[in-house]
Amino acid sequence: MKFDTEQVFKDMLAAISGALKQDAPNARKTIDEFLKRRKRRLETVINFRLQNQISEAEFSSRLQDEKLMLEAEMEAMKAVSKAMAQKAANAAIEVLEKAVRLAVGGLL
């Protein structure tokens, strides 16, 4: 049995695409939620500063706090991204393994 490398690579790409498409909406929803929370908090801080309810120093301090919280949330996305990448890689390797097993089985 001839092993069609081109077709196997196309199938691997399709498996990766499928895995990523499946998880992408959840990742986007999580990022949207992070940003919405930050937006509400930032609007409050901005309004406080515009109304002179907090000093420039307090404003800067609160912005730094918001930056740290956003960074922490983005760090959490690394774990989600890693899991998505692992799932996609696993899907591609499964396609490859199946194709090789079929080819080897056809040789016997």
Q: Where are the domains of the chain?
A: 5-107
b/e 49-88 (16+ beta carbons within 10 angstroms → b): beeeebeeeebeebeeeeeeebeebeeeeeeeeeebeebb
Above 60 in pLDDT, residue 108? no
Radius of gyration of the chain from its Cα atoms, rounded to whole angstroms = 24
Q: Give 76-97 pLDDT, tens digit per residue.
A: 888 888 888 999 999 999 999 9
pLDDT at 107: 63
pLDDT at 11: 93
